[in-house]
Amino acid sequence: MRTSIKAVISTAIAVGGALAASGPAVAAPHEAGSAADTIVSLQESGYTVIVNKVGSAALADCTVRAIRPGRKITEMRSDIRDRTVEKVVYTTVYLDAECQ
């Protein structure tokens, strides 16, 4: 699962960098790298996404500024032999989005 978040982070950084470097004269396709698309991708990879958004536009119109790892949320369970084991319930990630 760590590999998939690294891939998503790398893609988000690359798209964000390309959009920032392109300036206002050249706009990237709307779907390429929107915060909404990145959130869906992270959720499909099994992460719970916590969004920090600056601006009032819809997430589809926002760009990703950062993706940071969060905590693993765990719970203690008993296995067949009555041993207590810790199981990861879900893992959080933080996504910073900036809207124009």
What pLDDT is attached to residue 11?
55
- Tell me the backbone φ, ψ of residue 8, rounded to 5 degrees: -65, -40
Does residue 85 surpass a pLDDT of 50? Answer: yes
What pLDDT is attached to residue 29?
31
**Distances, alpha carbon 76 to alpha carbons 1, 25, 33, 87, in Å:** 21, 54, 37, 6
84-99, strands of its sheet edge to edge: 47-54, 84-99, 62-78
What pLDDT is attached to residue 70?
94
Greatest extent of the chain over all pairs of C-alpha atoms, in Å: 65
Task: Match 């989005």 to its residue by tokens.
Answer: 97
- Give 2-31 pLDDT, tens digit per residue: 556 665 565 555 444 443 443 333 222 334
- Give 33-83 pLDDT, tens digit per residue: 789 999 999 999 999 999 999 999 999 999 999 999 999 999 998 888 888
Distance, in Å, from the CA atom of 97 to the CA atom of 31, rounded to the nearest integer, reads 15
